[in-house]
Amino acid sequence: MWVNKLTILLAVAVFFIIAIYNPASAREITVDNSGSGADFQSIQEAINNSLSGDLILVYPGFYNESVDIETQNISICSKSENPEDTTVRAFNVSANNTTVSGLSIQEQLNLQSPVNDAWYDKIENCTVKNNILGSGIGADECYNSTIEKNVILSSGIFILGPEGDSDFTVSDNLIINGNIDVSHGQFQCVLLNNTLLKGGIGVGEGSGYTILGNYVSNGMYNGYGILFSESSSSKIENNTVVNCTNGIFLTRLSWSNIVYNNTLMFNDKGIYVDSGDNLFLNNTISKNNIGILVGGTTIDQTGGSSLLNNTISNNNIGISFEDDSSGNLVTNNRVELNEQYGVYINHVYYLMSYDGNNRFYNNMFNNTNNFFNDTGNYTGNYYVAKATNISSRKISVALNTTKTSGNNIAGGSYFGGNLWVKPDGTGFSQTCNDWDLDGIGDSIYMVSAYDIDYLPLVSMSRARQSVFPVADFRANTTGGYVPLSVLFTDFSQNATFRTWDFENDGIIDSTDKVPVHVYPVSGTYTVNLTVSNANGTSSKLYPVTASNRPQYILRETQITTNKSNQVKPAIYGDKIVFLDNRNRWEYYNIYIYDLSTSRETQISTEVSHYDYDIRPVIYDDRIVWKAHRNNNGTWENSGIRVYNLSTSKETQITKSASASDPAIYGDRVVWTDARNGNGDIYMYNLSTDRETRITADESNQDHPAIYGDRIVWQDSRNGEDYNLTDIYMYDLSTSTETRITADDSGQYSPAIYEDKIVWWDSRNGGWNLYMYDLSTSKETQITTSKGYQGNHAIYGDRIVWVDGRNRNADIYMYDLSTHTEVQITSNNSEQSDPAIYGDRIVWTDRRNEYTLDAVPDIISGDIYTCTVSGIEPSIKTPVADFFANITSGNAPLRVLFTGNSTGAPIFWHWDFGDGINSKHALNSTHTFTEPGSYDVSLTVTNENGSNTWIIPGYITVSKSK
């Protein structure tokens, strides 16, 4: 009885609870702007009258309203579930648990809460699905939400934040002429099964992304398909990317990502990666210009990636390594039928540190040209390939691992090197013997003169093996001073005929078994021995390096030894001045070191705040610098200061806060000053205490230098801002300004000594040094190597500079009197800031790798000096010189070149700049058949060494009329 009454009471209570609460949370509200009896005619009006849990059904029609959703936990859906018949102008969603479905939205739909203290409040658990959008979807600080099954006709989907853990799914959307952009920390964001036509996917500044099963064509922005920037620990799987500039592009600090099982076709670069420690696995990369391009800079921590089990076929280039692309692993890949190269190794940027070999093993290479390691560029759409001798500091590769048991890619029983085959059946692995049947070739494979596969894979049974020749030789020496005489001995097997090409230039030099060849010109040469028998041919390549005998004795001394940072040295006589932060990191004092007494002294009485414009200069007993001073905790430019060593007195010669970059000669100090709104050159005379404005042009003049009455600077009056500057000179004795350079490219940072002005010039597409002689009005190109040459100084006939040709910054010197270039430093660290006085060169050197506890990532510099002494006259090398009877005319132009060298040369080598050389002739006649400007050089050699003189653009040939 009581049980029945209790049951009835509970049922009544539940009924009342449902009656009270359920209607308020689950109402169905209708909207129809045609006035057909719906609850409301406006969507906004319906939302304003809705409660949490309501469903708003919108009847077909056009609703010209921008709808703001601020009520939580409501759904706005089309009644017909057909977005083509129900159109709304725009939506702004700022409430949690909102669903928008089945509508056509003309403008953008935004998922974004109001601003609170300059930041958007977060919203979460929103769903946008089954809509057609004309201007895309934007989300800011939106958590745990879904965007799915929409059609977006332009713009795309843009998700910013959140910067905390969140699940966000973007799936099954069709985007035309738009992108999916996700940035700033969408952790656990999933982009799944989306189709993007004329668009791409970009993610940045986050981690934990999953990019899965998407189809991307024609790219975003600059044509990128899938772009990662500063994004790590993510997965890119099962995507198809076609017709993009970069199919998948991992850039700028994008580490530890997995790129798996993707298909990339018809892109310029299938995969482009310039960040490190990524895994590329099981991808199909076909019919691109470059299949995989690995390159970048140390600052982005490139290198250390793995390329495993990929199929890379029918591209122009299969795999290309550029810039600082070291320490990568390439294994188990099928690289086949690529038109130009299977693997191409390009140059390595000189400033980058080296981080280990690129290791290739257990790959199948099946291309006409399987592997090309070069410091030039390839002949594709972007670069021009040139098969040059690779320098000793080329990017290093290893083409095998240790011999280890296991099923290799050719079906053999051991891992070792790679399978080297060619489509025409003539590949090394197709012709090499394997008599012990271990799947490893019986001879090593000389892939190039520098790259050797010591354990090449083969796949030939013993019954099919013929007896092929095996090229082999030895040399009594592989390096020495010119003229270098080398004895070669042929140790080849199974050969019936041989040819020697001692310079690998296609010209047969000998067929003897034991020939001798003399190298009269310095350089690295590739010796090619080719042997043959009835079954085929075999070649062996090996480098021989002929060097110039040193013309100078170099005595190097370390000046500073403490572990703080010493930089920006200058020298005059026995005195070296430099900046030093030993008293406090980042704040620098000026020190002086006297070579005659080995005594070091602190000069500046207050700390100077270091920046790139602060560099002390010295002349006689005066030191000049731009100073910073601490004014109650604020560092301020306090003008140009002079310290007199003889009086121990410091003087401020200008109070201008815009003064910088001083130089001194005698009593005259010059500097750049922006007090008038642009950079002008000013001068101060210490003997008269008088300041003079040298330039008054409204453009920028800066980087002044002075010698005697002559002031030189770089001047932008003929260009824009600081771009494309020229070199100008002002003569104080005549009050005359002269334009020194008029080339359309840029000339920068002049230095002057007597009649010689040296500057940094961009006219050849790089950074070379040029010189102008005021006494002869003649301009000369000093450096011709690729890469950076700059940060230069001149004293007498000697020019010093920083040179990047060896992949790190070294100090070089050029002697104008002998046309001789000398490498002063050769360690693998970075050298900078050279200065010269007499036979002494000083610079900043980081070879000791000192670091401070406060800044362990910054390597401190020391000050080094080198004394350069000439050798005895009896053992000096010759000095090249020549002239021509005519230097211009119409094609064909016949020119007689006459040698005028000194120092008793016995070998002459002419290079006429058109690919034709002449050897062993004191004088030479040459006919130029094509119009153009030709650099001509003569190298002369005697028993003590060689010397080269090059005249850029010496011969000008015009088209025949």
Mean pLDDT for 620-629 is 87
Residue 685 has pLDDT above 50, yes or no: yes
**CA 899/CA 305 separation, integer angstroms:** 54
Query: Which percentage of the chain shows pLDDT scores above 70?
Result: 87
- Judge if 836 and 893 occupy the same domain: no
Query: Which percentage of the chain shows pLDDT scores above 90?
Result: 55
pLDDT band at 118 (very low <50, low <70, confident <90, very high): very low
**CA 333/CA 283 separation, integer angstroms:** 10
- Judge if 641 and 729 occupy the same domain: yes
Residue 390 has pLDDT above 60, yes or no: no
Extract the tokens encoding 284.
């199909």
- Judge if 303 and 407 occupy the same domain: no
Q: What pLDDT, on the 0 to 100 scale, is given for residue 422?
A: 92
- Judge if 668 and 744 occupy the same domain: yes
- Judge if 603 and 540 occupy the same domain: no
The β-bridge partners of 870 are 552
Q: What pLDDT, on the 0 to 100 scale, is given for residue 379?
A: 35
Do the domain assignments include residue 157? no
Q: What pLDDT, on the 0 to 100 scale, is given for residue 638?
A: 72
Q: Which of 818, 843, 872 is the last residue of a domain?
A: 872
Do the domain assignments include residue 151? no
Q: Among 243-247, 556-560, 874-878, which stretch is predicted with the lowest mean pLDDT?
A: 874-878
Contact assessment for residue 895 and residue 914, using Cβ atoms and an 8 Å cutoff:
no
Q: Which of 345, 379, 395 is the last residue of a domain?
A: 395
pLDDT digits (tens, 9 = 90+) for 142-192: 888 999 999 999 889 998 876 666 788 999 999 999 999 998 765 678 999
- Judge if 861 and 895 occupy the same domain: no
Closest alpha carbon to 580 in 604, 599, 597: 604
Cα dihedral across residues 312, 315, 317, 320: positive or negative? negative
Residue 767 has pLDDT above 70, yes or no: yes
- On the 0-12 / 13-18 / 19+ scale of CB atoms within 10 A, 222 is exposed
Do the domain assignments include residue 65? no
Contact assessment for residue 42 and residue 32, using Cβ atoms and an 8 Å cutoff:
no
- Judge if 627 and 594 occupy the same domain: yes
Q: Where are the alpha helices (DSSP H) in 715-800?
A: none
Rounded to the nearest 10°, the torsion over CA 578, 579, 583, 586 is: -160
**CA 355/CA 828 separation, integer angstroms:** 12
Q: Tell me the longest C-alpha to C-alpha distance in the chain.
A: 134
- Judge if 377 and 441 occupy the same domain: no
**Can you point out the beta strands (E) in 548-611?**
552-558, 566-572, 575-580, 587-594, 599-602, 608-609
- Judge if 406 and 384 occupy the same domain: no
Q: What pLDDT, on the 0 to 100 scale, is given for residue 386?
A: 28
Do the domain assignments include residue 457? yes
Q: Which residue has the higher pLDDT, 391 or 768?
A: 768
Residue 871 has pLDDT above 50, yes or no: yes
- Judge if 862 and 903 occupy the same domain: no
> CATH code at 495?
2.60.40.10
> CATH code at 269?
2.160.20.10
**CA 95/CA 68 separation, integer angstroms:** 9
pLDDT band at 259 (very low <50, low <70, confident <90, very high): very high
Mean pLDDT for 880-899 is 91
Q: Which of 872, 895, 911 is the last residue of a domain?
A: 872
**CA 211/CA 193 separation, integer angstroms:** 9
Q: What pLDDT, on the 0 to 100 scale, is given for residue 723?
A: 59
Q: Which residue has the higher pLDDT, 338 or 208?
A: 338
Residue 710 has pLDDT above 80, yes or no: yes
Q: Which residue has the higher pLDDT, 78 or 787?
A: 78
Residue 240 has pLDDT above 90, yes or no: yes
Q: How far is CA 724 from the centre of its chain?
A: 23
Backbone torsion region of residue 226, taken as left when φ is above 0, otherwise alpha when ψ lies between -120 and 50, otherwise beta: beta
> CATH code at 815?
2.120.10.60
Q: What pLDDT, on the 0 to 100 scale, is given for residue 5?
A: 42
Please identify which residue in the block is written with the tokens 């130009």. 340
Q: Respond yes or no on whether the N-terminal peptide bond of residue 878 is cis (omega within 30° of 0).
A: no
pLDDT band at 604 (very low <50, low <70, confident <90, very high): confident
Q: Among 126-130, 259-263, 440-444, 797-801, which stretch is predicted with the lowest mean pLDDT?
A: 440-444
- State the chain's mean pLDDT as an integer: 85
Contact assessment for residue 243 and residue 219, using Cβ atoms and an 8 Å cutoff:
yes
Do the domain assignments include residue 40? no
Residue 571 has pLDDT above 60, yes or no: yes
Q: What pLDDT, on the 0 to 100 scale, is given for residue 3?
A: 37
The β-bridge partners of 129 are 101, 148
Please identify which residue in the block is written with the tokens 């070999």. 357
Counting the structural domains of the chain, the total is: 5
Q: What pLDDT, on the 0 to 100 scale, is given for residue 874?
A: 62
**Can you point out the beta strands (E) in 459-522?**
473-475, 479-481, 484-490, 497-501, 516-519
pLDDT digits (tens, 9 = 90+) for 28-55: 999 999 877 899 999 999 999 999 999 9
Residue 2 has pLDDT above 50, yes or no: no
Do the domain assignments include residue 97? no
pLDDT band at 381 (very low <50, low <70, confident <90, very high): very low
Do the domain assignments include residue 90? no
3-state secondary structure 194-236: CEEEEECEEEEEEECCEEECCEEEECECCCEEEEEEEEECCEE
- Judge if 749 and 770 occupy the same domain: yes
pLDDT band at 461 (very low <50, low <70, confident <90, very high): low
Cα dihedral across residues 481, 483, 487, 488: positive or negative? positive
- Please list, in sequence order, all residues whose beta carbon lies within 8 angstroms of the beta carbon of residue 445, skipping any fewer than 6 positions away: 399, 417, 420, 428, 429, 432, 452, 453, 456
Do the domain assignments include residue 91? no
Residue 632 has pLDDT above 70, yes or no: no
The 882-884 sheet, strands edge to edge? 882-884, 893-899, 924-928
- Judge if 300 and 320 occupy the same domain: yes
Which range of residues forms the domain containing residue 693?
552-872
Rounded to the nearest 10°, the torsion over CA 506, 511, 516, 521 is: -10
- On the 0-12 / 13-18 / 19+ scale of CB atoms within 10 A, 961 is exposed
Q: Determine which helix (DSSP H) or strand (DSSP E) holds 45, and give its type and residue range.
A: helix 43-48
Residue 385 has pLDDT above 70, yes or no: no
